[in-house]
Amino acid sequence: MVDDRDEGARLPEELARVLADYERHLVSERDLTPHTVRAYLGDVAGMLEQATRLGARQLGDVDLATLRSWLATQQTLGRARTTLARRATAVRVFTAWAHRTGRITDDPGALLGSPKPHRTLPSALRVDEARALLEAAARAADDGTPVGRRDVAVLELLYATGIRVGELCGLDLDDVDPERRVVRVLGKGRKERAVPYGLPAARALDAWSRQRPALAVAGSGPALFLGVRGGRLDQRAVRTLVHTRLADVPGAPDLGPHGLRHTAATHLLEGGADLRSVQELLGHASLATTQIYTHVSTDRLRQAYRQAHPRA
């Protein structure tokens, strides 16, 4: 997160108290992750600090003009449209909470507009590229080392389930049900969901489970995937793995683990899965988030049509 807060700025006592109450609400009532809490608080605190410089001493002094001035300042600083949209949303959520809890009589954030972020289609591998990626990982694992087997299992599971890299690294041994071929995932907002995986991923996980003791140490705990020193595998190592193995696939885009999530979603839809099912598999709170993958599929169909149809 880019922090535009002025380190010299100090909030009046009432605004500081409201911000502290909001932090407790985010942590205790909404049960958000520490990263999400920091992002929300940073955006709201930045707005309150500018409001203070404009003369606000209590939350009731923050009106729509104040919010628009703050957003305009962000735009002047050259913030991206996606950043502006996110910060406007953070402030709208904050003022809605303040209004709902009786801290202000009117909700100025309800009238705050924000620039629509540019829609960027996520990059995704073709089916043959995904297959080549997994085959490259399998070839690298032919030496039979625990790390090689682990890497194959990581890539197979990412592609099979479309789970986030943080969700993958957070998996424990008892989160995997090999009989039903289902993995239990703790997603955003600590919402739990069950995601099925196929036979290739099952075989890779089985091979890794036989090799896992070779990397395990006293402090390994229940982590499913382990690093070379026996601790829980971290996200940076997974990103390095994906980039390294994709380098072995000629012509493939250089994607990270999230690119495999895009790929899984795109291939599911292209294979006939309905949008609601893909939403559940990915753990999206809103169907609108999942709908971007339909644009990916349509784009590929259009490209194939242009290349193949004699009257295109």
CA distance 189 to 31: 6
**Average of pLDDT values for 207-211?**
95
Q: Is 295 helix (H, G, I), strand (E, B) or coil?
A: helix
Active site residue 164: yes
CA distance 249 to 209: 27
- Phi, psi dihedral angles at 192 (to 5 degrees): -95, 140
Q: 98 is written with which tokens? A: 């303040």
Print the SS3 string covering 47-91: HHHHHHHCCCCCHHHCCHHHHHHHHHHHHHCCCCHHHHHHHHHHH
Which CA distances in Å does 92 have to 47, 67, 110, 209? 11, 10, 6, 47
What residues have CB less than 8 Å from 230, skipping those under 6 apart?
Answer: 215, 216, 217, 219, 220
Which CA distances in Å does 41 have to 32, 137, 202, 237? 12, 41, 41, 29
Which of 86, 87, 261, 267 is the catalytic position? 261
- The answer to whether the pTM exceeds 0.85 is no
CA distance 67 to 95: 10
> For residue 6, is pLDDT > 80?
no
**Average of pLDDT values for 300-306?**
64
**Average of pLDDT values for 282-300?**
74
Beta carbons of 90 and 43 less than 8 angstroms apart: yes
CA distance 115 to 117: 6
Which of 68, 188, 232, 300 is the catalytic position? 188
Active site residue 262: no
Task: Please give the mean pLDDT across all residues of the chain.
Answer: 87
How much is the pLDDT for 302?
A: 64
Q: Which residues of 105-120 are buried (b: 16+ CB within 10 A; e: fewer)?
A: eebbbeebeeeeeeee
Class at the top of the CATH hierarchy for domain 13-111: mainly alpha
Domain boundaries, the chain: 13-111, 127-256
Determine the angle formed by the axes of helices 146-161 and 127-140, rounding to 10 degrees: 160
For 231-267, what is each residue's pLDDT tens digit?
A: 999 999 999 999 999 998 999 999 999 999 999 988 9
How much is the pLDDT for 59?
A: 95
- DSSP assigned state of 124: -
Higher per-residue confidence, 235 vs 119: 235
**% of residues, the chain, pLDDT over 70:** 90
Higher per-residue confidence, 136 vs 311: 136
User: Which CATH superfamily does the domain covering 127-256 fall into?
Assistant: Intergrase catalytic core (1.10.443.10)
Active site residue 193: no
Active site residue 261: yes
How much is the pLDDT for 118?
A: 62
pLDDT category, 60, cuts 50, 70, 90? very high
Active site residue 22: no
